[in-house]
Amino acid sequence: MPLLRVHHKTEYRYASPVAFGEHRIMVRPRDSHDLRLFFAELEIAPKPASLRWIHDVFGNSVAIASFGERADTLTFDSHIIVDHKPAPAFTLTPDDPGYFYPFLYDGDEYLDLLQYVTPHYADPYGELDAWARDFLEAEPPTPTFKILSRMTHGIREQLAYRARYEEGTQHPLDTLQARSGTCRDYALLMIEALRRLGIAARFVSGYLFDGDNEHAGGGATHAWVQVYIPDAGWIEFDPTNGIEGTRDLVRVAVARDPSQAIPLHGTYTGPAGAYIGMEVNVTVTSVDQSESMAAEA
pLDDT band (50, 70, 90) for residue 168: confident
CATH architecture of the domain covering 3-84+262-296:
Sandwich (2.60)
What mean pLDDT comes out for the span 133-157? 96
Cα-Cα-Cα-Cα dihedral of 237, 193, 110, 149, to 10°?
-30
Same fold? 3-84+262-296, 100-247: no
What is the pLDDT of the chain when averaged over all its residues?
A: 91
- 75-121 pLDDT, tens digit per residue, is 999 999 999 988 777 789 999 999 999 999 999 999 999 999 999 99
- 31-48 pLDDT, tens digit per residue, is 899 999 999 999 999 999
Secondary-structure class of domain 100-247 per CATH: alpha beta
CA distances, 59 to each of 62, 115, 252, 254 (Å): 9, 16, 11, 8
Q: 189 vs 3, which has greater pLDDT? A: 189
Domain residue ranges in the chain: 3-84+262-296, 100-247
Which one, of 178, 176, 170, lies nearest residue 223 by Cα? 170
Which one, of 18, 2, 57, 24, lies nearest residue 264 by Cα? 24
Handedness of CA 118, 54, 278, 50 (dihedral sign): positive
Q: Report, in angstroms and rounded to the nearest whole number, the Rg of the chain calculated over CA atoms.
A: 20
Alpha carbon 128 to chain centroid, angstroms? 21
pTM for this prediction: 0.92
- 189-201 pLDDT, tens digit per residue, is 999 999 999 999 9
Q: Is 59 left (phi over 0), alpha (psi -120 to 50) or beta?
A: left
Which helix (H) or strand (E) segment holds residue 61: the answer is: strand 61-66
